[in-house]
Amino acid sequence: MATVIEASPLDFPMTDALRFLPEGPYQNGAGKFSWVGIQHGSDVTFGSLNRYDFTTGENVSMDLPGRPGFAFPCRTENKYVVGCERTLGYFDVSNGSWEPFCEGVDQAVENTIINDGLAYKDNLIFGCKDLEFATKKAGLYLYRGSDSKLICLRDDQICSNGKSVVEQDGKLFLIDTDSPTRTVVRYALDIAAGTLGEPEVVLDLTEDPAVPDGSILTPDGKSIIVSMFLPSAGPFGETRQYCLATGECERVWRTPLSTQNTCPALVEYQGKLMLIITTAVEHMTKEDQAVCSNAGKLFIAETDFDPAAWAPPAYDA
């Protein structure tokens, strides 16, 4: 029987724009994390980079020049690497400047934008999504830092979400949440060659009413934490921890009155690793929003993970 933990909404001002589609929380140092507002409304074509500080309870939001899929802090102070629309670039939070360094992502197809990704040393691995959520045409990419080369690993996804890289016996593997298929798959990853092996399903959620969205690994790499996007109203949403070896659900974090969980992140705060969960209003009717009054808020919950055994990577730039 999985352990059930109640998450609590963070108490800071959230406008309708910011509650529409929050994703991608990421630790920016102890007691701080960033997240992206992918889109500030159904008809809005830009979003934001947000930074939250537990000590002050303040969230600083800065508009970006489009819809971001991910944003990660760089080792250079105030600098973030961002996947925005079809461009990779650097955003400086000290002055709001935007510096593209890789443009034309997914240029072979129309109506896709960059979605979820991860930073691994000086590499970026990220996917795109079909804005109509219908056609297998979105790419999965490696931006290889060693030669600044953009490599298409797959060109047949609909909406690519949570990603992790693990090392086993000297080999690298990419774990990828393929949302529309409701599966999490693992590939052998060769960064030097720019190739993926054949996909192996490590978590099958095809019978679940919710869609797996963002995901991260537990600090020991043995389990995966997946935010579940349930496109209907209800008393709570779920972010779940599954054992990768057995597929067993080990833990469930509930988000009261918010069913559309989008992404999880671990953030160190006061000597503990806390779980941050983003949720969204996107696609909800007014009737659903009346039921799910916490939709679009960010949640926090406790974990028993050891902070000494974990550290989020920063992008090498």
For residue 252, tell me if it sits in a domain.
Answer: yes
* CA 32 from centre of chain: 17
For residue 314, tell me if it sits in a domain.
Answer: no
For residue 294, tell me if it sits in a domain.
Answer: yes
CATH code, domain with 163: 2.120.10.30
Degrees, nearest 5: CA angle 25-30-31: 70
3-class state of residue 68 by DSSP: strand
Q: What is the domain count for the chain?
A: 1
For residue 96, tell me if it sits in a domain.
Answer: yes
pLDDT tens for 168-197 read: 889 999 999 989 999 999 999 999 999 999
Give the predicted TM-score (pTM) of the model: 0.97
d(CA 64, CA 91): 8
Q: Which long-range contacts (CB under 8 A, 24 or more apart) does 208-211 make?
A: 208/182, 210/237, 210/238, 210/259, 211/179, 211/180, 211/182
For residue 317, tell me if it sits in a domain.
Answer: no
What pLDDT does residue 1 have? 85
316 strand-pairing partners: none
What pLDDT does residue 311 have? 84
What pLDDT does residue 56 have? 95
Residue ranges in the chain modelled with pLDDT below 70 = none
d(CA 160, CA 99): 25
For residue 316, tell me if it sits in a domain.
Answer: no
For residue 158, tell me if it sits in a domain.
Answer: yes
pLDDT tens for 105-138 read: 999 999 999 999 999 999 999 999 999 999 999 9
Contact assessment for residue 160 and residue 178, using Cβ atoms and an 8 Å cutoff? yes
The domain of 104 spans 3-309
For residue 301, tell me if it sits in a domain.
Answer: yes
- The amino acid at residue 119 is A
